[in-house]
Amino acid sequence: MQVVSGAIVAPKIHFEAPPSTQIAGEMAGFMDWFKRTAPGGTEPLPALTRAGAAHLYFETIHPFEDGNGRIGRAIAEKSLAQSLGQPTLIVLAATLLARRAGYYQALEAASKRNEITDWLAWFAGITIEAQQRTLALVEFLIDKAKLFDRLKGQLNERQQKALLRMFKEGPEGFKGGLSAGKYSTITGASPATATRDLVDLMEKGALVRTGELRHARYNLSVPLRPVQRVTIGKNGELVESK
């Protein structure tokens, strides 16, 4: 199995998995390593080191035609949970996918050599970012529950549908804000009805408006919590950036 890009006549090979005849042996080696490095195993590893190495190890074997990424991310989360001794409340998989381009680049670079320090540093940064993203999501969902509880029985079906759609975007907010046109698309309301519904939601404290007339945009009244990208610097320091 290969991951390639470019023209068929001159493809660029980003990754090549072991031959299918070797997969069973490679997976047996992986499972043995995973047991040995677990807490209580004969060669226990620190939590982040084991989780990052386990994910890379599995992805490098690439035993399935499809689903390797999902399984590999689940293995990383399982590894962290084993080290903590309890299930982890952390959106690691979602954070990896949110940083998809960097994730694939880091995987490709790490799969080409045995030195994986750079990969582990990148993975550690992503895990810390995932913790921050999890806290932001929990607080955002609490705000969502409080808002709907306060407005219980005061919203029509269209308004409720639009608010749920905006909350679906998560703590970073509805990109570009909600316009009357977008509201009509989401709910099927006429332009006049959309305007009335939006004004009503604003008066009820569910939305806040910026701009006027056709430039008016509406955002949720709850605090948004965008999460900064976290990386590990050369000296082990945390670096946050957009």
Question: 76 with 24, same domain?
Answer: yes
Question: 27 with 112, same domain?
Answer: yes
CATH number where 168 lies: 1.10.10.10
CA distance 117 to 240: 20
Domain presence at residue 240: no
Predicted pLDDT of residue 112: 84
Query: What is the per-residue DSSP string for 36-65?
Result: HTSTTSSS---HHHHHHHHHHHHHHH--SS
Q: Which of 107, 134, 161 is the last residue of a domain?
A: 134
Domain presence at residue 209: yes
The pTM is what?
0.80
89 or 9, higher pLDDT: 89
Residue 14, H or E segment: strand 12-16
Is residue 143 over pLDDT 70?
Answer: yes
Give the total number of structural domains in the chain.
2
Query: What is the per-residue DSSP string for 81-114?
Result: HHHHTS-----HHHHHHHTHHHHHHHHHHHTTSS
Question: 27 with 52, same domain?
Answer: yes
Question: 125 with 206, same domain?
Answer: no
Question: 68 with 168, same domain?
Answer: no
CA distance 210 to 200: 15
The torsion region of residue 34 among left (phi > 0), alpha (psi -120 to 50) and beta comes to: alpha
Question: 202 with 118, same domain?
Answer: no
Structure tokens, 72? 């590999």
Question: 32 with 130, same domain?
Answer: yes
Question: 130 with 145, same domain?
Answer: no
Residue 178 lies in domain:
141-220
Range with the lowest mean pLDDT among 10-24, 147-161, 164-178, 218-232? 10-24
Question: 124 with 152, same domain?
Answer: no
Q: Which of 76, 111, 134 is the last residue of a domain?
A: 134
Looking at mean pLDDT, say which of 7-21, 27-41, 167-181, 221-235 comes out highest: 27-41
Question: 130 with 215, same domain?
Answer: no
Q: Which of 134, 164, 199 is the last residue of a domain?
A: 134
Going by pLDDT thresholds of 50, 70 and 90, the confidence category of residue 66 is: confident
Question: 102 with 12, same domain?
Answer: yes
- Which candidate, 180, 49, 40, places its Cα nearest to that of 117? 49
Q: What percent of the chain has pLDDT over 70?
A: 91
Range with the lowest mean pLDDT among 83-92, 136-145, 213-222? 83-92
Cα→Cα distances 160→110, 151, 179, 181, 186, Å: 46, 10, 16, 17, 11
CATH number where 75 lies: 1.10.3290.10
Is residue 233 over pLDDT 70?
Answer: yes
Domain presence at residue 201: yes
Question: 110 with 148, same domain?
Answer: no
Please, which residues have CB within 8 angstroms of residue 13's CB and are 6 or more apart in sequence? 2, 3, 4
